[in-house]
Amino acid sequence: MDNAGLPGKPPNTSEAPPVDDIPVALRDTPEADRRYQVKPIVLIASLVGLGAIALIATLLAIGNSTPKAVVNTSSQPSPSPTATAGQTSTDILLGHFSYKEAPESELQSITADGRFKLRKPAAKQYKAMVAAARQSGVILVAISGFRPVSEQQHLFFDVKAQRGQDARERAEVSAPPGYSEHHTGYAVDIGDGNVPATNLNPKFENTAAFKWLKNNAARYSFEMSFPRDNPQGVSYEPWHWRFVGDTQSLETFYKAKNLKAIIQEPGAVQKPQEEPAQQPEVAK
């Protein structure tokens, strides 16, 4: 007898019950939720973890494969070779240094006739030096003082042509225009008033005037510009003296001191040659 529909009777168990992976005792309970819902959560977490690992691995691979940035140093200023005090071989021409011309307003006469001038500080000390020498019986005579660049143009190029000298040969006894100490207003050529035949001649070193200058010129801040075997390769000039008694004159000339490293650079100046026969003329 079929009693499936009668109340209080159990259903017919001959039919297979529907498949349910949650036991009856645990259905619709918090324990069932935690136990049987954890699997998708774990699955999702696993997938997320694997994805993160894959992403990190990809980023590391990209980082390793990306070439390192190359720093462009072309715009960085490269140090320029200098030997002393910012002076380079481009400031030297045939053994002579480039100098600024003294303005006329800074010049003062050193002779009674006003023929020769120096910058005011140099003129004051030169006059004091002449007076001191005279007290010792020595007569210092100015042969040349300030010369403008235009006059140096004649002394270098015109005389060079007249004598048939090449530029390097001429530069041993006369500076190119723009490179003479005379247009600085600090340089003076000195002779002995008692022996004028030695003017502008190496024999001046044998006079009383030269001997006095050698022993006393430094007291008045004058020094010989071109002693024997000077590093500039300029011929020996015992008559040529320059003032170095203030900051400006020191800055002007001391860049020309101890310059063997510069002068030996390519294109600078030849090594000092044997002293040529001197002809009287206005010097550097």
The per-residue pLDDT for range 25-56, each reduced to its tens digit, is 444 444 444 444 445 554 445 555 555 566 66
Determine if the pTM surpasses 0.75.
no
One domain, residues 257 and 152: yes
CATH number of the domain at 252, please.
3.30.1380.10
CA distance 155 to 146: 14
What DSSP character marks residue 158? I
CA distance 142 to 144: 6
Q: Which residues contact 207 (CB under 8 A, 6 or more apart)?
A: 192, 194, 195, 198
Q: What is the pLDDT of residue 117?
A: 98
**Which amino acid is located at 47 in the chain?**
L
Residue at a domain's end among 44, 62, 80: 62
Q: Are 135 and 165 in contact (CB under 8 A)?
A: no
Is the residue at 251 inside a domain?
yes
Q: Are 225 and 241 in contact (CB under 8 A)?
A: yes
Q: Are 199 and 250 in contact (CB under 8 A)?
A: no
Sign of CA dihedral 97, 101, 106, 110: positive
CA distance 131 to 137: 10
Round the CA-based radius of gyration of the chain to a whole number and report it: 49
One domain, residues 40 and 120: no
| Total tally of structural domains belonging to the chain | 2
The answer to whether residue 89 scores a pLDDT higher than 60 is: no
Instruction: Name the pLDDT band for 231 (thresholds 50, 70, 90).
Output: confident
pLDDT (average), residues 268-281: 44
Q: Which helix (H) or strand (E) holds 27?
A: none
Is the residue at 92 inside a domain?
no
One domain, residues 152 and 38: no
Is the residue at 242 inside a domain?
yes
One domain, residues 239 and 130: yes
One domain, residues 42 and 141: no
| Percent of the chain scoring above 70 in pLDDT | 58
Is the residue at 160 inside a domain?
yes
- The residue that leads in pLDDT, 108 or 69, is 108
CA distance 119 to 102: 8
Question: Which SS3 state, helix, strand or coil, does residue 167 take?
Answer: helix
One domain, residues 58 and 118: no
Structure-token match 């819902």, residue found:
37
**Where in the sequence is the domain holding 45, given as residue range(s)?**
24-62
Instruction: Name the pLDDT band for 112 (thresholds 50, 70, 90).
Output: very high
Question: Which SS3 state, helix, strand or coil, does residue 42 take?
Answer: helix
Residue at a domain's end among 62, 81, 115: 62
Question: Which SS3 state, helix, strand or coil, does residue 198 take?
Answer: helix
Q: What is the pLDDT of residue 118?
A: 98
The model's pLDDT over 147-197, given as tens digits with 9 standing for 90+, comes to 999 999 898 999 989 999 999 899 888 889 999 999 999 999 999 999 999
Sign of CA dihedral 199, 202, 205, 210: positive
CA distance 52 to 218: 85
One domain, residues 56 and 155: no
Q: Are 136 and 263 in contact (CB under 8 A)?
A: no
